[in-house]
Amino acid sequence: MTNNKVLLDWVQEVAELTKPEKVVWITGEEAQLEEIRKEGCSTGELIKLNEEKLPGCYLHRSDTRDVARVEARTFICCKEEKNAGPTNNWMDPQEMYLKLNKLYDGCMKGRTMYIIPFAMGIVGSPFAKYGIEITDSIYVVVSMNIMTRIGTQVLDAIGEDGEFTKGLHSKADLDPEERYIVHFPEDNTIMSINSGYGGNVLLGKKCLALRIASYLGQKEGWMAEHMLILGVENPQGEKRYIAAAFPSACGKTNLAMLIPPEGYRKDGWKVTCVGDDIAWIRIGEDGRLWATNPENGFFGVAPGTNEKSNPNALAATRKNTIFTNVGLNLDDNTVWWEKLDKNPPANSLDWTGKKWDPALGEPMAHPNSRFTAPAKNCPCIAPEFDDAKGVPLSAIVFGGRRAKTAPLVYQSRDWDHGVFVGSIMASETTAAATGAVGVVRRDPMAMLPFCGYNMGDYWQHWLDMGKKISNPPKIFNVNWFRTDEEGNFIWPGFGDNLRVLEWILKRADGKIGARETEIGFIPEPSDINIEGCDIDLDALTGILQVEKEYWKEDIKSIKEFYAKFGDKLPEYLAKEVEAMEERISK
């Protein structure tokens, strides 16, 4: 399979530590994968679904104590604690290695150890990074086949002396008290134990593609970002690309797979999805930023996904998909989750495998149940999805869920100010999520849980990148979630968000004016097309206002957050928040 001595020595070392019954190298060949799926069905790790209605699809159930990412058990282990920063959990690397090695000792006895060579990005492209995930989970093997590009082609790309990320995972005993998802950025190593949930064990996703990659990007002069990438084509056939970052529950997937309003579709507007979650961004020879999606699939939240909310995402799950922790319809061996439709199947099992009883009032699917689907299943996947050079960005968009503070859209004054706008990103909690309404949670660039080093240094990296980009994208902030006095959303959202993207792209091309305000450039209400939209000009004008009193309160919160970073806070950001306060107070 390979003559890479570093890799072979590491595999032998892991096998001696974990003591598996047998070792299997994953080639990426369909025949081998099919045998592994069959084995998964025989052990109960997978359940084959209706081949006619859901061809190639399987149901997987994780342990009931293991259903989400666990930020409290996620660590960045670098030599100096200050380099992990105040927003990451830290432990001394040698101390953590000792702790983990005790847990890995013999953890694969009686099990198969699978070795998965995988690529983030297109094999052979300048963007690509390679990894090896060693695991004892069939679910991981078949899911990594969907989410990444796997097999001998990756070993060939690594070659005899190429770099790769070491990823070690074991389900072990699934003990939540001994669950760890640990990153050693300086060693290019990830170790995960006692979890079987995708977000903790598919090590190519958040672990490599964001936490390790953000560290590598800082060292190597590129950016790993928690951003969707979409293409927008206007009726004149001009295509532009946008990268956008949103915290959870802010409509990220819906925007990535946006369907234009009827009037726009008739006029010839088209929107395509390059990626729904992660963007790797480099400076091109033309001085622009070029972005690629390093993933090969979607790892989406199932509840709430339906024909109305996101038909493209639903269509992506129709074949060769793994569903995790959803309900099982016993009548036709298909799956169901809340808000899929209004007809929950009476004869069904819930996400734990128990008979579902609607009288108990408990959901059939777990609220964080997932689908792992090939990106190429998506009807709106962009033709550039497999383009090794990526796509050029015209705009970067930040967003959050703010009831009153942020206007519908505003543009930063320049790149540096755009970094400030991204650094102060926040969302307000909803009653459904926490029991408390309006608690502001800072999530800069939507990277707070995913930045693999000190976020103060991360912001400085953004500022440094700006000095190197001769033709930078314009930076914007959007807020689809302004509410009226009754708490109803004023902006209709979903496909109508294209109306705002149209203004953004006109600004990026220098084709339209704007009004300068204390926080940045804001559209003239008449410059946003609301023909056929369920909003009038007065309401639109209202959500484009700068609400100074709310901003004054927000500035206090920003200063509190910035204070966590001490002398790591870039000087520009410290000065900019003071300057904004001065402008707002006039």
Q: Compute the distance between CA of residue 182 and CA of residue 292 in angstroms, rounded to an integer.
A: 26
Q: Which residues, 6+ apart, have CB-to-CB distance to 193 below 8 Å?
A: 100, 103, 104, 107, 169, 170, 172, 178, 179, 180
Cα distances (angstroms) measured from residue 141 to each of 299, 327, 521: 15, 23, 48
Q: Which tokens go with 363? A: 């959901």
Q: Is residue 360 part of a domain?
A: no
The answer on 406 and 257 residing in a single domain is: yes
DSSP 3-state assignment of 40? helix
The answer on 575 and 430 residing in a single domain is: yes
Q: For the domain that residue 31 is a member of, what is the CATH number?
A: 3.40.449.10
Q: In the listed set 172, 197, 221, which residue is the last one of a domain according to the structure?
A: 221
The answer on 283 and 154 residing in a single domain is: no
The answer to whether 376 touches 269, Cβ cutoff 8 Å, is: no
Compute the C-alpha angle 189/67/213, nearest 5°.
Answer: 25
Q: In the listed set 197, 221, 245, which residue is the last one of a domain according to the structure?
A: 221
Per the annotation, binding residues are 69, 197-199, 206, 226, 248-254, 277, 368-370, 401, 494-497
Which pTM was predicted? 0.97
The answer on 579 and 533 residing in a single domain is: yes
Q: Is residue 326 part of a domain?
A: no
| DSSP codes of every residue in 53-96 | TSTT-EEE---TT--S--GGGEEE--SSGGGT-TTSEE--HHHH
The answer on 233 and 145 residing in a single domain is: no
Q: Which residue has the tokens 């050693």?
A: 184
Q: Residue 1 has what pLDDT?
A: 87
Catalytic member of 78, 207, 250, 451: 250
Q: Residue 436 has what pLDDT?
A: 59
Q: Residue 249 has what pLDDT?
A: 80
Q: Residue 522 has what pLDDT?
A: 98
Per the annotation, binding residues for substrate are 69, 197-199, 248, 368-370
Q: Compute the distance between CA of residue 562 and CA of residue 459 in angstroms, rounded to an integer.
A: 11
The answer to whether 26 touches 34, Cβ cutoff 8 Å, is: no
Q: Which tokens go with 313? A: 């995402």
The answer on 214 and 271 residing in a single domain is: no
Q: Residue 586 has what pLDDT?
A: 87
The answer to whether 158 touches 164, Cβ cutoff 8 Å, is: yes
Q: Based on the residue annotation, tell me whether 107 is a catalytic residue of this protein.
A: no
Cα atoms found within 13 Å of the Cα of residue 461, Cβ hemisphere only = 23
| DSSP codes of every residue in 166-187 | EEEEE-TT--GGG-EEEEEGGG
DSSP 3-state assignment of 163? coil
* 311-334 burial code (b ≥16 CB/10 A, e <16): ebbbbbbeebbbbbbbbbbeeebb
The answer on 238 and 209 residing in a single domain is: no
The answer on 240 and 179 residing in a single domain is: no
Q: Residue 431 has what pLDDT?
A: 46
Domain span including residue 495: 225-296+385-585
Per the annotation, binding residues for Mn(2+) are 206, 226, 277
Q: Is residue 304 part of a domain?
A: no
The helix, strand and coil proportions of the chain, stated in percent and rounded to the nearest 5, come to: 35, 20, 45
* Dihedral pair phi/psi, residue 90, rounded to 5°: -130, 145
Cα distances (angstroms) measured from residue 26 to each of 114, 141, 171, 242, 491: 7, 8, 18, 35, 48
The answer on 539 and 553 residing in a single domain is: yes
The answer on 235 and 206 residing in a single domain is: no
Q: In the listed set 221, 248, 277, which residue is the last one of a domain according to the structure?
A: 221
| pLDDT digits (tens), the chain, 586 positions | 899 999 999 999 999 999 999 999 999 999 999 999 999 999 999 999 999 999 999 999 999 999 999 999 999 999 999 999 999 999 999 999 999 999 999 999 999 999 999 999 999 999 999 999 999 999 999 999 999 999 999 999 999 999 999 999 999 999 999 999 999 999 999 999 999 999 999 999 999 999 999 999 999 999 999 999 999 999 999 999 999 999 988 889 999 999 999 999 999 999 999 999 999 999 999 999 999 999 999 999 999 999 999 999 999 999 999 999 999 999 999 999 999 999 999 999 999 999 999 999 999 999 999 999 999 999 999 999 999 999 999 999 999 999 999 999 999 999 999 999 999 999 987 544 334 557 899 999 999 999 999 999 999 999 999 999 999 999 999 999 999 999 999 999 999 999 999 999 999 999 999 999 999 999 999 999 999 999 999 999 999 999 999 999 999 999 999 999 999 999 999 999 999 999 999 8
Q: Which residue has the tokens 């709106």?
A: 380
Split into its structural domains, the chain has a count of: 2
DSSP 136: S
Q: For the domain that residue 275 is a member of, what is the CATH number?
A: 3.90.228.20
The answer on 258 and 216 residing in a single domain is: no
Per the annotation, binding residues for GTP are 249-254, 370, 401, 494-497
The answer to whether 180 touches 147, Cβ cutoff 8 Å, is: no
DSSP 520: S
Would you tell me how many other CB atoms lie within 10 Å of the CB of residue 444? 23
Q: Residue 432 has what pLDDT?
A: 42
DSSP 3-state assignment of 270? strand
